[in-house]
A and B are shown apart, each in its own frame.
Chain A
Amino acid sequence: MKISLNLNGEQVYADVEADSLLLDTLRDQLGLTGTKEGCGVGVCGACSVLVGGNPVSSCLYLAAMADGADVWTVEGLTASDPDLADAFVECEGMQCGICTPGQVVAAAALRRHHPGASPEEIRRWMSGNLCRCTGYGTIIEAVERYVGRD
């Protein structure tokens, strides 16, 4: 079936199967490989994207459900807001990098849903994004810096 997405602000089309996952559609069909597959079961957050402004695990999200929706990936979010990637670079909020796109998308979602989030709210929100290098300190610093920016 054919679906249309408003992907990173641009209208795109994809031909998907009934059970295609948004993750595979983004990576394999639309060439946006910033979104990673980590656990594949909605736990780690490496595949985070925004659908309709909400963070979702694209490894569990059926591509067909995104038909007609606004979808933002790490590529579009960082291109449209340089502060987002800058915060992670300035705080060195990454180690091996596999979780980084998901952490960045989660930070963008946090600022949309909870502008001015408290340190406690930031930790609670980001608890759904795992870093297997356990480099959480600088990731949280980066998110605090980004969320705290005007």
Chain B
Amino acid sequence: MSAVTEFLAPDTVEAAIAALAGDDEAVAVGGATALSLMMKEGLLFPSRLVWLGRIPGWDSITAAPGMVRIGAGVTLADLAGSESVRRALPAVAAAAGTAANPRVRSVATVGGHLAHADPRQDLPPVLLAAGAVALVSGPGGDRRVPVDDLLVGFYETSLAAAEVITAVEVPLTPGSRQVYARFNPGSADDYPTVGIAVHVELGPDDTVASVRVAAGGCASRAVLLHEAAAVIRGRSPSALDLPAVQAAVEAEIPVVGDHRGAESYKRRVAGVWARRAVAGAVGDAGPLLGQPVAVV
């Protein structure tokens, strides 16, 4: 495929960072599903592949106080199938279980998914809506990077050279309502035209105390939609102005047209699907046009 001369499979994070730091053209490998494609297409020419899959505990999902920690090596299939994730983070499980096909899901990892930063992916909007934080390790030490600060643009993250994502922490919000609604008119394994994630927490007075709305598939990265959230926050679920939610989304969302839809089309689809996803989050958990939806 390319000029790859070395495949290393270190068994510690420290050794992985050292292997990455020791070669300017080294690339960290999660499951290689996207990496192999990019090498085949001639978009990447790594000289050294550093596979992280042999690091003990890399693929574990652990419950900690107030959060779930998802190891960077957890596959999308294991994330979708995890009982604890399905119970506490149903939108995360739904998004992981709908990406690509069973073969890709059983190999692609959460860390690789985030580091790849394809704007059409399913997990980034859901992790943005959930307030997730990536744990990153590198030559300069460890740092915590909110997913919103990790994503930069097309295939671009804020990871520095030789830094790796080691885990993703997702806060637990008992009683929250979480929805992921993807509009995908193509084949079942296609990327969504638009994916909308909504995370709502009600306060003691039954009004919306906290809400995040995020979209994938539209811009050069998944984005939080702050204006739409402002329309929802503080309202009672029964008094939500859904047309105003749609209008806010259509006004603020950055959109890049592509073969899944022109800019104006995707903008409208994002508005309509955000309205439906918000309605699903605060109302009945009915299916949205047969697409996967999760609510607790």
Contacts and interface: CB of A to CB of B under 8 A. Distances in A.
B51 A18 contact: no
A72 to B, nearest CB: 13
Contact-size category for B: 20 to 34
B5 interface: yes
Interface stretch (B28-36, B130-138, B200-208): B28-36
A25 interface: no
A60 interface: yes
Contacts of B48: 18
Contacts of B251: none
A54 B107 contact: yes
A42 B7 contact: no
A59 B104 CA distance: 11
Contact of B106 (A19, A41, A43, A56): A56
Contact of A65 (B32, B39, B106, B187): B32
Nearest to B75: A54
**The 8 residue pairs across chains A and B that have the minimum distance between CB atoms:** A128-B101, A18-B7, A54-B106, A19-B4, A127-B188, A60-B36, A64-B7, A18-B4
28 contacts: A17-B4, A18-B6, A19-B2, A21-B1, A21-B36, A41-B40, A42-B37, A43-B101, A43-B189, A45-B101, A51-B107, A54-B75, A54-B77, A57-B107, A60-B32, A61-B32, A62-B29, A62-B36, A64-B7, A64-B9, A65-B29, A65-B32, A65-B51, A106-B102, A125-B102, A127-B188, A127-B189, A129-B101
Interface of A: 1, 17-19, 21, 40-43, 45, 48, 51, 54-57, 59-62, 64-65, 67, 106, 109, 124-125, 127-129
Given A55-B102, A65-B9, 7 more contacts: A19-B1, A54-B77, A55-B106, A56-B106, A62-B32, A62-B49, A124-B188
